[in-house]
């Protein structure tokens, strides 16, 4: 009986410790309709720069990403938008949130954004809301795709995720913009 109680206590303790040691990011898959409806701003732009800094209590690193807006599909604002996201690298420390988008100076992207209670713009659905734009060398068309493994989209409407072994989808920026506009016309804001 005592042995059974000790075994039970050991299992509960191991489960509690295991829960403390493990972490994961869980994100709900969003299709284009949901991305449009849940975003306060949708912009196409180029990353001008990033700046990492400590929060007020010096417990977390935040990164501001400044984006020069070339086209605004939803929302209002000036010629730039500053995104604030949790994570970054500073003073020899790296604070990273799994599933967060990464940004590099000069990178062009289509961004679905939401604003927190302080009005700070953030990427919607973590990396789901960032589509990198690149030019097709053969056709010169601008193509969009998510860069994070496991989040590659198969089409512009459902943003169905690419399965293992599937070839990367060819989604043009024009197709994606048309789909966003269609959702907006149907009342998806």
- The pLDDT, as a whole number, for residue 18 is 43
- The CATH number of residue 115's host domain is 2.40.50
What is the value of pTM for the model shown? Answer: 0.81
15 within a domain of the structure (yes/no): no
CA atoms of 128 and 130, how far apart (whole Å): 6
CA atoms of 35 and 42, how far apart (whole Å): 9
Q: Are 134 and 147 in contact (CB under 8 A)?
A: no
2 within a domain of the structure (yes/no): no
3 within a domain of the structure (yes/no): no
- The pLDDT, as a whole number, for residue 166 is 74
Where in the sequence is the domain holding 165, given as residue range(s)?
A: 27-188
**Which residues of the chain, if any, have pLDDT below 70?**
1-27, 149, 161-162, 164, 168, 188-189
Give me the number of domains the chain comprises. 1
48 within a domain of the structure (yes/no): yes
- The pLDDT, as a whole number, for residue 67 is 98
- The pLDDT, as a whole number, for residue 16 is 41
CA atoms of 37 and 77, how far apart (whole Å): 18
8 within a domain of the structure (yes/no): no
20 within a domain of the structure (yes/no): no
């Amino acid at each position: 009986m005592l042995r059974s109680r000790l075994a039970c206590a050991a299992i509960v303790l191991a489960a509690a410790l295991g829960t403390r040691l493990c972490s994961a990011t869980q994100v709900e898959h969003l299709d284009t309709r949901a991305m449009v409806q849940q975003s306060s701003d949708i912009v196409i732009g180029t990353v001008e720069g990033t700046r990492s800094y400590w929060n007020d209590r010096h417990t977390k690193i935040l990164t501001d990403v400044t984006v020069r807006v070339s086209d605004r599909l939803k929302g209002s604002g000036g010629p730039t938008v500053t995104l604030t996201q949790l994570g970054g690298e500073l003073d020899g420390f790296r604070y990273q949130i799994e599933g967060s988008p990464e940004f590099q100076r000069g990178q062009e992207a289509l961004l679905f954004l939401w604003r927190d209670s302080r009005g700070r713009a953030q990427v919607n659905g973590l990396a789901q809301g960032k589509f990198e734009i690149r030019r097709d060398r053969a056709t010169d068309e601008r193509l969009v795709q998510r860069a994070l493994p496991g989040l590659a989209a198969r089409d512009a409407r459902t943003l169905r995720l690419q399965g293992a072994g599937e070839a990367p989808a060819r989604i043009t920026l024009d197709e994606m913009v048309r789909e966003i506009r269609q959702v907006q016309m149907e009342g998806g804001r």
